Copies of this chain bind each other. A is one copy, B any other.
Amino acid sequence: MQANFQIDDVDARIISALSLDGRRPYAEVGAEVGLSTAAVHERVKKLLERGVIRRFSISADPERVGLSFTAFVAIRNDGGAHCREVAPRLRTMPEVVELHSVAGEYDFLAKIRTTHARALEDLLFQIKSIPGVARTTSTVVLSTELEDRPLDLGALRNP
C-alpha cells in the first residue's frame, strides 16, 4: 500500500506523536501504536539513522524569541557565470531560514527572519548585491496565521 514511501504506517504514527510532543515517553507512544517500549525505541533509532527524523528539537515562537520580522524574497538569477554561487551565498546568511529552488518567473524563494525592520532592509540590500542575482521581489509578512504545525501524517498520507 505504501510501497513507494520509506516509512510504514506505524512509523508515520510514531513520527506524528513525537512531532506533537518530542518528549512523549516511548511507552506511551508504544501503547498508542501497539508496540513495546523497546520496539518504539528501535524504530526511532532507525528513523534517525535513515534521516527520516532529522533530530529532536523544540518549536519556538519566533516573535517571543525576538524574531519579529518575516519576509519572503523571490530571487532571479542573471543567467551568467555566477549563478551557481547564489544559493551557497544565501545559505551562509543566518537570517535565511528557508531556501527553495522554484519553477516560474524566479529561481529561488527565500524565507527571511530578522529582529527588526532595519535588519530586513540591510539583508535585502545584501542579497541584491550578490553577483549573479538579477532581480528580487520581497513580500513582507504582516502576521502569521499558521506555522510549525505538528505533522499529522495520518491526515496527509491518506487523503
Count A-side interface residues using an 8 Å CB cutoff: 72
Asked if B143 and A100 sit within 8 Å, CB to CB, the answer is yes
Stoichiometry, copies per complex: 2
C-beta contact mask, A1-37 vs B, less than 8 Å → 1, else 0? 0100111000010010011111100000000000000
Report Cα–Cα, A153/B91, bound state, in Å.
Answer: 16
State which of A48-56, A76-84, A127-135 sits at the interface with chain B: A48-56
Asked if B56 and A23 sit within 8 Å, CB to CB, the answer is yes
Shortest beta-carbon distance, A26 to chain B, in Å?
A: 12
Chain B residue with Cβ nearest A150: B57
Shortest beta-carbon distance, A40 to chain B, in Å?
A: 13
Tell me whether chain A's interface is mostly helix, strand or loop, or mixed: mixed
Asked if A102 and B156 sit within 8 Å, CB to CB, the answer is no
When distances are taken between beta carbons in the complex, the residues of chain B under 8 Å from A12 are: 65-66
Report Cα–Cα, A73/B67, bound state, in Å.
Answer: 24
Contact among B2, B5, B58, B64 for A57, CB-based, below 8 A: B58
Chain B residue with Cβ nearest A17: B58
When distances are taken between beta carbons in the complex, the residues of chain B under 8 Å from A143 are: 100-101
Q: What are 18 contact pairs spanning A and B, CB under 8 A?
A: A20-B55, A22-B56, A50-B64, A52-B64, A54-B61, A54-B148, A55-B58, A65-B151, A94-B155, A94-B156, A96-B146, A100-B145, A100-B147, A102-B141, A103-B139, A104-B140, A113-B156, A115-B157
